[in-house]
């Protein structure tokens, strides 16, 4: 019996089993290297918590950063901490554990956290693009458009939309019957779980396709439009305006591309055969979007954005001019 089948046939339904756990086979037999990997993962998680929590605290404490751009950044850092909790504690546990079984309940919880984090990230990046567009293209109307009510509404919309979408996603997956429980992954992802199903997955596939097309269109198109308009304005503007646009948009563009490429790695690896790639490389590509952005973004924004750098120095008691 092929454990990866997702077709509904009388034979597969007869062979379906009520599994209570999934087995994460990607950990394999790493021997004593597990202690090295555990140390690396622990350091990465500590850096993620420290860097993101520091910037969240600085933005909340420093009144000069109570502006739309920095509030959206704060929401981005909060989401990165949220997503990291869905991966790192379990990753650290299974690296040291001799068994790599994960209960169905925790598997679905992990899927919910990681997928809602990813969708919220798409929304946050789109909202930040819109904020930069208004700031650069309509500077005199910026404060009238980006009011505190609008800012809170956009942030809440990003979170609530992703929570609702993934609640539907999980409710559909909970109804599946499985013919296998082996996931060749370091963590649970919905696509791999659905591939193990013997029952009808038509609703899951339709919902997944609908979310991919509609949600990505609603986030990518505004982002592309915003930067096309920013580019048009910059080409007609003074050197000072171009420099301002470059300083404020560069970190966001780099952050956006970093996350998009990381998510693309996951999609390609999940849907195409990657057995020819070295196992370590496959693992890095699969966890890239969950590890690199939460580490990279705080340092990039902290270094590139002068007001954040000065506020960090002030809060930490360092020389504010450095």
Within the chain, residue ranges assigned H as helices are 10-14, 33-61, 68-96, 104-137, 142-145, 148-173, 190-195, 202-236, 239-271, 279-304, 306-315
User: What is the per-residue pLDDT for 303?
Assistant: 77
Answering whether pTM is above 0.85, one says yes
- Rounded distance, CA 41 to CA 117, Å? 20
Spatial separation of the C-alpha atoms in residues 117 and 81, rounded to whole Å: 9
- The answer to whether the beta carbons of residues 189 and 270 sit under 8 Å apart is yes
Domain boundaries, the chain: 10-315
Indicate the Cα dihedral angle 201, 206, 208, 214, nearest 10°: -170
Classify domain 10-315 at the CATH superfamily level. Answer: Rhodopsin 7-helix transmembrane proteins (1.20.1070.10)
Per the model's pLDDT, the better-predicted residue between 97 and 285 turns out to be: 97
Q: How do residues 301-320 score in pLDDT, each as one tens digit?
A: 887 788 888 888 887 777 65
Confidence grade of residue 2 (pLDDT, cut at 50, 70, 90) = very low
Q: What is the pLDDT of residues 116-166, one digit of tens each?
A: 999 999 999 999 999 999 988 888 899 899 999 999 999 999 999 999 999
Residues 6+ apart with CB under 8 A from 300: 251, 254, 255
pLDDT at 168 over 60: yes
Ranking 64-68, 148-152, 231-235 by mean pLDDT, the lowest is 231-235
280: exposed, middle or buried (Cβ count in 10 Å: 0-12, 13-18, 19+): exposed
For 76-90, 169-183, 266-280, which range has the lowest pLDDT when averaged over its residues? 266-280
Higher per-residue pLDDT: 84 or 320: 84
pLDDT at residue number 6: 38
Q: What is the mean pLDDT of residues 273-298?
A: 79
pLDDT at 107: 93
Contact call for residues 51 and 117 (beta carbons, < 8 A): no
pLDDT surpasses 60 at 1: no
* Model pLDDT, residue 306: 81
Q: How confident is the model at residue 7 (pLDDT cuts 50, 70, 90)?
A: very low
State the average pLDDT for the chain.
84
Lookup: tokens for 38: 């555990």
Are 29 and 280 within 8 A, CB to CB?
no
DSSP 178: B
Cα angle 276, 295, 306 (rounded to 5 degrees) comes to: 140
For residue 43, name the pLDDT band (cuts at 50, 70, 90): very high
């Amino acid at each position: 019996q092929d454990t990866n089948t997702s077709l509904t046939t009388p034979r597969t339904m007869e062979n379906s089993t009520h599994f209570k756990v999934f087995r994460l086979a990607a950990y394999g037999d790493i021997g004593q290297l597990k202690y090295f990997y555990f140390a690396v993962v622990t350091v990465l998680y500590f850096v993620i918590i420290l860097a993101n929590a520091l910037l969240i605290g600085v933005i909340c404490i420093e009144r000069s950063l109570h502006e739309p751009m920095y509030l959206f950044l704060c929401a981005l850092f909060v989401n990165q901490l949220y997503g990291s909790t869905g991966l790192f504690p379990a990753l650290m546990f299974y690296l040291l554990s001799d068994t790599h079984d994960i209960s169905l309940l925790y598997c679905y919880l992990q899927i919910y956290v990681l997928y809602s984090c990813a969708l919220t990230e798409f929304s946050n990046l789109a909202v930040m693009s819109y904020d930069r567009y208004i700031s650069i293209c309509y500077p005199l109307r910026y404060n009238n458009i980006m009011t505190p009510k609008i800012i809170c509404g956009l942030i809440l919309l990003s979170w609530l939309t992703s929570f609702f979408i993934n609640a539907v996603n999980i409710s559909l997956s909970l109804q599946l019957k499985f013919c296998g429980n082996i996931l060749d992954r370091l963590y649970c992802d919905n696509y791999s779980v659905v591939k193990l199903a013997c029952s009808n997955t038509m609703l899951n596939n339709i919902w997944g396709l609908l979310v991919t097309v509609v949600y990505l269109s609603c986030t990518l198109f505004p982002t592309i439009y915003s930067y096309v308009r920013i580019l048009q304005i910059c080409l007609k503007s003074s050197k000072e305006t171009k420099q301002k646009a470059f300083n404020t948009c560069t970190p966001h563009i780099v952050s956006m591309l970093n996350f998009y490429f990381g998510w693309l790695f996951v999609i390609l690896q999940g849907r195409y055969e990657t057995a020819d790639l070295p196992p370590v490389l496959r693992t890095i590509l699969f966890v890239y979007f969950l590890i690199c952005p939460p580490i990279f973004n705080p340092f990039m924004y902290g270094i590139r954005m002068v007001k954040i750098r000065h506020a960090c120095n002030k809060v930490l008691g360092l020389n504010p001019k450095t």
